[in-house]
Structure 1
Amino acid sequence: MDADPRQYENIVIDSCLLMCWFYHNISGRGECPMTSDGHSYQFASVFCYLYWRSFINDIHKIVRSYLVHNCFKDTLESFIACTGVKQPVDHLEDMEKRKRIFHFALDGNASKAIELTEEFAPGLLEENKDLHFDLLSLHFVELVCSRKIDEALGFAQSKFTPFGKEQKYVEKLEDFMALLAYEEPEKSPMFHLLSSEHRHHVADSLNRAILAHTKLPSYSEMERLIQQTTVVRQCLSQEFGKDGQQLFSLKDFLKS
C-alpha cells in the first residue's frame, strides 16, 4: 500500500538508494549498480559524493546569506575560516556600516542612523518616504520620552510638515503628536510606538532597504526558504485539511 501523502515528510530517502533506483529504472540497464559490476558501483558512489557536496555547498550558502544579512561579521569570518566559502571583501566592509546603522536605529538614535544612511546610501531616504518618516518618528519619540517637549514640537514642525500634506501620513502624525498629551507616554493608547518591537521593525526595514540599494538581496536565503516552505505547507494543509486536520501554522510549528 502506498504511503499516506501527508506522511511523506517523515520518509527519509537515502541518496545512494535513490541513485540505484534511478539507474535501475531509468537507465534501462535492468540492474542495480550496488550489486553489479564495480564500475557501476563507483559511478553510484561518485554521484552520491557529488550530490552530498552540492548539498553541503547549498547549506553553506544559506548560512552565509543569513550571517551577511544580519551583519554578524565576526561569526561570518569564523564561518569562512572553517568552511572555506568565499565572500567578497566589500561585503564585509559594507556589513560593518550596515551594522552601525541598524544598531543606531534599534537603540532609538534615529538621527545618527539617518546621517549614516545618507552617507552610505545617498538618495535612499528620498526615494523611500515611508522609511524616512518611520526614522524621523523614532527620533520624535525619543524626544518625547526624554520630556524635551519644546524640542519635540520644533522637530515635528520642521520635519513632519511635508508629510502632513499626504493623507496616508495624517493618521500616523496624529498618533505621534498625541503622545505629547501624556505625562507617561508608555501608558498611553499609543504605547506600541515606544516599544522595542516597533524600533526593531523600523531598523529591520532600514537594513533591507540598504541591502536593496546596494544591489544585494533584501531577504536572506533562509527567509526565502521559510517563506516558500510555509506556502507549500499551507497549500498542502488546505488540500488535505478537508479531512478535518488543522491547517498548517508556521508560528505553531516553531513552538512545537
Structure 2
Amino acid sequence: MDVDPRQYEHVAVNDKDIQNIVMSYLVHNCFKETMESFIACTGMKQPSDYPEDMEKRKRIFQFALEGNALKAIELTEQLATNLLEKNKDLHFDLLSLHFVELVLSKKCTEALEFARTKLTPFGGEPKFVDKLEDFLALLAYDEPETSPMFYLLSSDYRQRVAESLNRAILGWASAIFFEGLSEELKREEFERLSGIQLLKLLKMLCHGGIAAILLEGSDNIIIACISVKVLTLAVWVHPECTFTV
C-alpha cells in the first residue's frame, strides 16, 4: 500500500530535526572530530548519550573490517564486558573472520585447529550447523575464492560483521545509559530516539515526491541533503557550517 504523504502534513520539521539526524549519523560512524566541530558550529549541546569510548569503538570497527578479528574481540571484551558472551551470533561471526584470514593465508592446518577449538563448540546449537559446514567447506578447495562459499571471503562479509559489532556496542552503551535514568527521563529519551523522530524522518522521505537523504562522510566532511517541499536544502561541510532551510 502506498503511503499518503498528506497524513504527515501536521508534522513540523525544523533545523533541530535535521541536526539531530546528522548528529546520530556522526556518532554511529565514530566521526568524533567532525561531531565536535558540528556541535561547536551549530551551538548544539553535546548529547547526553555521547559515547566517551568513540575512539575505542572506531578502532574495534577498523580491526574487524581489516579481518583482525582476534584484536577486535579483545578490545570489545575490554570495552563491553559480556557483550559477546550474550551475543553468540556476533561472537561466531567474528571468530569466522579469523578463520577466513587463515584460509586466505593458506594456513590450512592452523585453520582446521582453530575451527576445532573455537568454532565447532557452537555446533551444539542447530542454527550454527549450516554456517559451520559452509566455513569448513572452504578447506576443500585449493582456490577457496572459486568455491560456492566465496562470499565468506569477501570484503562485504567483513563489512557486515563489522557493522553488526558496531551496532551491538552502541546498543550496549545505550543500555548502560538508560539504566541510570529515572522513569520520566527514560520516556523522554525513548520518545526522542524512536517514534517522534522516526515519524519526522518518514515525512522527509515520502513528502513532496522527492525522496532523498544523502549522507556521505569521512572524518573531514559530512554532506546532508534532504529534499522535500518544506525543506529546500540542508548542507553542512566541515569546517565551514551552513544550513539553509
Shorter chain as normaliser: what TM range?
0.5 to 0.7
Query: Match of 1:138?
Result: 97
Query: Match of 2:54?
Result: 95
Offset, 1:225: 4.0
Would the alpha carbon gap of residues 64 and 159 (structure 1) be closer, same or farther in structure 2, given more than 3 Å must change?
same
Distance in 2 (alpha carbons) for counterparts of 1:226 and 1:156? 46
Distance in 1 (alpha carbons) for counterparts of 2:193 and 2:26? 10
Query: Match of 2:86?
Result: 127
Would the alpha carbon gap of residues 85 and 201 (structure 1) be closer, same or farther in structure 2, given more than 3 Å must change?
same
Greater RCO, 1 or 2 (C-alpha within 8 Å, sep 6+): 2
Query: Match of 1:24?
Result: none
Distance in 2 (alpha carbons) for counterparts of 1:170 and 1:92? 36
Would the alpha carbon gap of residues 146 and 221 (structure 1) be closer, same or farther in structure 2, given more than 3 Å must change?
farther
Distance in 1 (alpha carbons) for counterparts of 2:69 and 2:162? 9
> In structure 2, the residue corresponding to 1:147 is in which secondary structure?
coil
Structure 1 gap ranges (5+): 16-50, 234-247, 251-256
Offset, 1:90: 7.9
Query: Match of 1:214?
Result: 173
Would the alpha carbon gap of residues 8 and 113 (structure 1) be closer, same or farther in structure 2, given more than 3 Å must change?
same
Corresponding position: 1:63 with 2:22: yes
Corresponding position: 1:165 with 2:124: yes
Query: Match of 1:112?
Result: 71
Corresponding position: 1:153 with 2:126: no
Question: RMSD in angstroms over aligned alpha carbons?
Answer: 3.4
Offset, 1:161: 2.4
Would the alpha carbon gap of residues 210 and 156 (structure 1) be closer, same or farther in structure 2, given more than 3 Å must change?
same
Paired residues for 1:69-88 under 5 Å: 69-87=28-46
Query: Match of 1:229?
Result: 202
Distance in 2 (alpha carbons) for counterparts of 1:58 and 1:92? 21
Q: What CA deviation, in whole Å up to 9, does each residue of 1:50-102 have, x standing for no partner? A: x7xx8112211111111001111121122112111122598353111110011
| Contact residue 62 and residue 221 of structure 1 kept, 8 A | no
Query: Match of 1:20?
Result: none
Distance in 1 (alpha carbons) for counterparts of 2:5 and 2:167? 37
Q: What CA deviation, in whole Å up to 9, does each residue of 1:101-124 have, x standing for no partner? A: 111111111110000000000100
Distance in 1 (alpha carbons) for counterparts of 2:129 and 2:52? 39
| Contact residue 104 and residue 113 of structure 1 kept, 8 A | yes
Offset, 1:6: 6.3
Distance in 2 (alpha carbons) for counterparts of 1:173 and 1:227? 43
As a proportion of its length, which structure holds more strand? 2
Would the alpha carbon gap of residues 91 and 6 (structure 1) be closer, same or farther in structure 2, given more than 3 Å must change?
closer
Query: Match of 1:194?
Result: 153
Query: Match of 1:39?
Result: none
Would the alpha carbon gap of residues 103 and 227 (structure 1) be closer, same or farther in structure 2, given more than 3 Å must change?
farther
Structure 2 gap ranges (5+): 178-191, 214-245
Would the alpha carbon gap of residues 65 and 228 (structure 1) be closer, same or farther in structure 2, given more than 3 Å must change?
closer
| Contact residue 64 and residue 94 of structure 2 kept, 8 A | yes
Query: Match of 1:174?
Result: 133
Quote the sequence identity (%).
63
**TM-score normalised according to structure 2 size:** 0.67
Q: How many residues are matched?
A: 187
